[in-house]
Amino acid sequence: MKLNIHNYETDDITVEYDQERCIHAAECVKNLPSVFNPDKRPWIQPENATITQIKRVVQSCPTGALKYRDADSEEQPEPQNAIIISPDGPVYFRGNIEVRNAEGETVLKDTRMALCRCGQSDNKPLCDNSHRDILFEAPAAFDPEKLESPTEEKEDSENPLIIKLMKNGPALIEGEYQVFSITAQPVSSTKNIALCRCGQSSAKPFCDGTHKEVGFKG
């Protein structure tokens, strides 16, 4: 994964911006233009809003490109891990997220991220907006029968949602989570699932083994 991090500071808060992870969802620009304005230099000016306002908007960034630090606190995971299937785009994760490589080594811990599912990102496993360049098409729908409900309801923010990246293959998901899309009701699950990363599965967002046939590298 590539990094290109810039810091924007006041005496009370630092806003961190990773240009490599930004896919221009523009939640920050829409919700707090006094601080986040791409027509200004610097484009992030944290002195123009309260700490509370900045934290709220930073946490709306779906990719984790924006983060904050202050003397009193750091961002905490949401109380339940979430997987959000977006139409024709990445899979978003929110919660206590831990990404591991095929050898089981942790390569990223975060509270928000966007997983490439078109197979073309130059910053795998993260999305870099390549899905727009190739006109990637994938529904936001998912088959709830491929998931199973947990045996009990509980808050799981202390339990990580593991994303294990198989070499040249899918992302294996382990933990407790809810799956969301704009086309279906949320489904809670503890089932280990495999999400397609090659962009060619006929069972999207789930893997169906097509990565082997198309020679996916990642």
For the chain, which domains are there? 5-70 (3.30.70.20), 82-209 (no CATH)
How distant, in Å, are the alpha carbons of 110, 114, 132, 213 from that of 93? 9, 6, 20, 27
Phi, psi of 56 (to 5 degrees): -60, -45
pLDDT of residue 156: 47
pLDDT tens profile 122-152: 999 999 999 999 999 999 999 999 997 655 5
Which residues, other chains included, contact 132 with Cβ-Cβ below 8 Å and sequence gap of 6+? none
pLDDT of residue 153: 53
Which residue is it, tokens 């046939």?
Answer: 213
If one compares 165 and 153, the residue with the highest pLDDT of the two is 165
Range 103-119 average pLDDT: 97
Whole-number percent of the chain with pLDDT over 70: 95
The whole-chain average pLDDT of the chain stands at 94
Say how far apart CA 218 and CA 216 lie, in whole Å: 7
Residue 210 has pLDDT above 80, yes or no: yes
pLDDT tens profile 43-88: 999 999 999 999 999 999 999 999 999 988 788 999 999 999 999 9
Q: Provide the β-strand partners of residue 173.
A: 163, 193
pLDDT of residue 87: 96
pLDDT of residue 28: 98
Say how far apart CA 138 and CA 178 lie, in whole Å: 20
Range 112-118 average pLDDT: 98
Side chain identity at residue 204, one-letter code:
K
Which pTM does this prediction carry?
0.94
